[in-house]
Amino acid sequence: MASSDKSIKIHEHCLVPPPSAAATPFSVPLTFFDLHWLRFHPVERIFFYSLPLPHSDHSSFFDKVVPKLKTSLSHTLQHFLPLAGNIVWPSDSPKPIIQFNPGDGVSLVLAQCDDALFNHMLDNSPRGATESHTLVPHLESSDSLASVMSLQITLFPNKGFCIAISSHHAVLDGKSSTMFIKAWAYACKSGEEESPPSLVPEYLEPLFDRDIIKDPTGLESVFINNWTQIASQMNPSHTSNGRSLKTVPQPIKENSVRATFELARGDLEKIKKRVLSKWELVEELAEPVLASSKPTTLSTFVTTLAYVSVCIAKAIHEAQNVQKFVLGFTVDYRARLEPPIPENYFGNCVASHMVDTQPHDFIKDDGVAIVAKRIWSKIKTLDKGALNGLDTIFSRFMTMRSEGTMAIGVAGSNRFGVYETDFGWGRPSKVEITSIDRGLNIGLAESKDGRGGVEVGLALNKHVMDLFHTIFHAGLSFD
């Protein structure tokens, strides 16, 4: 964590373990879903909370609020022991495992930031993409060991505070990460003073059973080999034989700004109506992979991804003359596998897929309709053959990148309910997926007003962001 910034002061860096009653060794193997993300950069999310006086006063916050957050964190970790451990790769194991040992805990940084920056952070307008980084904790990783999770709590005196989580994607997908945060919030809000806390409702009790994840086609080996190939390409002289756990660095692009955009329910309905009115017209252009009747409506996910990715592509095309794009998104497999995986399964049960568009589809006049139809077709195809194509996703992506195709990714979901995360001082004022600035990504969350809209976070080159702003709003002005 960059603590040299004069706007932030570090008060404490400590380790929060689960209660001593939980101090027994615990290990969990990684499945092929986990290995898919083995060396992916950490996923970083910040929850901002407005906090009234006297709670937001310096002494009150660190004397009363922080101890409550720490105690409830420790108690919650008793139910989520892998989060307090590390990823290791035993010499006699063909794959890494998650291991918790007595004495392990979660790294927690306590900090204070300039109060004048609080409203600045809540503003949806463009600001420097790296401004959030001092609020996010570092997640340790090396060839031999990788931390699972780290946390930072930062006070903005007399204004509010934020909780930032940096998590290893090989242990947590978005659903699991938000499950933990909500469990911690529940324990804190309910004032649980005894361990273990009762995690109610039931879906907050995590399931770690890895035996329910089957690997009939050997995807574990495929994904381990993929990361080994990346390691050898990055550092041919490295001696780890590909068994490194160090996350692959992805530097932030210079002159990048971060902004948040909203699609209200009415905006989404307008886009859906426009796309469906052109459904048959883009039939030949889209070359659908799935013969099916025209849907009566489209999901918020499909609509948002199609609209935002096309706006991004057209902005980059205008600014940098990039011609070819591809959209990738993660698919939740819990309900798609046979038999289905319980909703409270804790770990990765997601994998990446690329939308079967043509590279130039995104910059065409009817790009939104074409891309929406292709996303919809892709999802329908996955409903029929869930794991099809996963073994070649890495090679296909590398080939497209070598051909000059720019990839647009997606992080988060409008179904996670991140704005429901109340630690006892009210709902978040803003939730930000900080790590979207590690590439060209769309950050998704539900609108905080709870009226069916979507919040979209972006980190783009400043000139591209200005063009995106114009294209995004112009597209919503049509009837």
State both tokens at 307: 């609209």
How far is it, in rounded angstroms, from Cα 381 to Cα 283?
Answer: 17
Question: Residue 289 has what pLDDT?
Answer: 46
- Rounded Cα–Cα distance for residues 262 and 456 (Å): 6
Instruction: Please give the chain's pLDDT, 479 residues, in tens.
Output: 434 466 899 999 999 999 976 668 989 999 999 999 999 999 999 999 999 988 889 999 999 999 999 999 999 999 999 999 999 999 999 999 999 999 999 999 999 999 999 999 999 999 999 999 999 999 999 999 999 999 999 999 999 999 999 999 999 999 999 999 999 999 999 985 555 555 557 889 999 999 999 998 999 999 999 988 877 776 666 556 678 899 988 877 778 999 999 999 999 999 999 999 999 988 644 444 444 578 999 999 999 999 999 999 999 999 999 999 999 999 999 999 989 999 999 999 999 999 989 999 999 999 999 999 999 999 988 877 778 889 999 999 989 989 999 999 999 999 999 999 999 999 999 999 999 999 999 999 999 999 999 999 999 999 999 999 999 999 999 76
Pairwise CA distance, residues 412 & 443, whole Å: 6
Helices of type H across 136-280: 174-189, 219-234, 265-277
Tell me how far apart the alpha carbons of residues 111 and 136 are, in angstroms, rounded to a whole number: 10
- Are the C-beta atoms of 350 and 174 separated by less than 8 Å? yes
Amino acid at 31: T
Report the DSSP beta bridge partners of residue 203.
none
Confidence at residue 282, expressed as pLDDT on a 0 to 100 scale: 84
Query: CB atoms < 10 A from the CB of 191, how many?
Result: 11
What tokens appear for 85 in the block? 């451990």
Give the three-class secondary structure for 459: strand
- What pLDDT does 1 receive? 41
Identify whether 41 is a catalytic site residue.
Answer: no
CA–CA gap between residue 162 and residue 51 (Å, rounded): 10
- pLDDT attached to residue 248: 87
169 among known catalytic residues: yes
d(CA 256, CA 477): 27
How far is residue 179 from each of residues 108, 172, 309, 465, measured CA to CA in Å? 19, 10, 28, 32
The pLDDT score that the predictor gives to residue 479 is 62
For strands 127-128 and 256-263, give the pairing.
Answer: antiparallel
| Helix (H), strand (E) at residue 16 | strand 8-16
Q: Residue 390: CB partners within 8 Å, gap ≥ 6?
A: 36, 219, 222, 351, 353
The catalytically annotated residue of 169, 317, 353, 469 is 169
* Domains (range + CATH), the chain: 8-234 (3.30.559.10), 256-476 (3.30.559.10)
What is the pairing mode between strands 86-88 and 256-263?
unpaired
Its pTM stands at 0.95
Distance CA 309, CA 301 (A): 12
What is the structure's pLDDT at 287? Answer: 45
Q: How far apart are CA 382 and CA 352, in angstroms?
A: 12
Q: Determine contact, residues 375/355, Cβ cutoff 8 Å.
A: yes
Instruction: Report the distance separating Cα 131 and Cα 161, nearest Å.
Output: 16
> Given 5, 143, 215, 422, which residue is catalytic?
422
